[in-house]
């Protein structure tokens, strides 16, 4: 399901929220429409394992169509375009409604 961040008529009460989401770094994650194959999801869950690296970061490895895939927090941030290094921060309500 893909979110459409438009401002239709009659939704003036929500326009500030839509403006916030349109300028947010999570817009990409909300609006992309990837093709997802259930067979790949099944392969992932059947072969997935986790390990902790020396620096404390956790990685997930799985074999998909015979290829070893590695997932880390950094790779998720890169692919979802979450480029902030310190995680998602929240704005106080007063700043949102300004």
| CA dist., res. 28 & res. 13, Å (int) | 23
- Asked if the model's pLDDT at residue 9 lies above 80, the reply is no
- Asked if the model's pLDDT at residue 52 lies above 60, the reply is yes
Please write the tens of the pLDDT for every residue from 21-46: 777 777 777 777 767 788 988 999 99
Please write the tens of the pLDDT for every residue from 72-83: 888 877 777 666
- Asked if the model's pLDDT at residue 95 lies above 90, the reply is no
Q: What is the mean pLDDT of the chain?
A: 78
Query: In the chain, what are the domain boundaries?
Result: 1-34, 35-91
Contact 88, 30 (CB under 8 A): no
């Amino acid at each position: 399901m893909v979110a459409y961040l438009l401002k239709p008529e009659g939704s003036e009460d929500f326009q500030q929220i839509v403006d916030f989401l349109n300028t947010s770094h999570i817009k990409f994650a909300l609006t992309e429409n990837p093709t997802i194959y259930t067979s790949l999801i099944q392969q992932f869950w059947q072969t997935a394992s986790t390990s902790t690296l020396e620096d404390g970061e956790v990685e997930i490895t799985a074999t998909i169509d015979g290829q070893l895939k590695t997932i880390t927090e950094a790779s998720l941030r890169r692919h979802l375009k979450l480029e902030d290094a310190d995680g998602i921060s929240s704005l106080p309500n007063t700043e949102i409604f300004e």
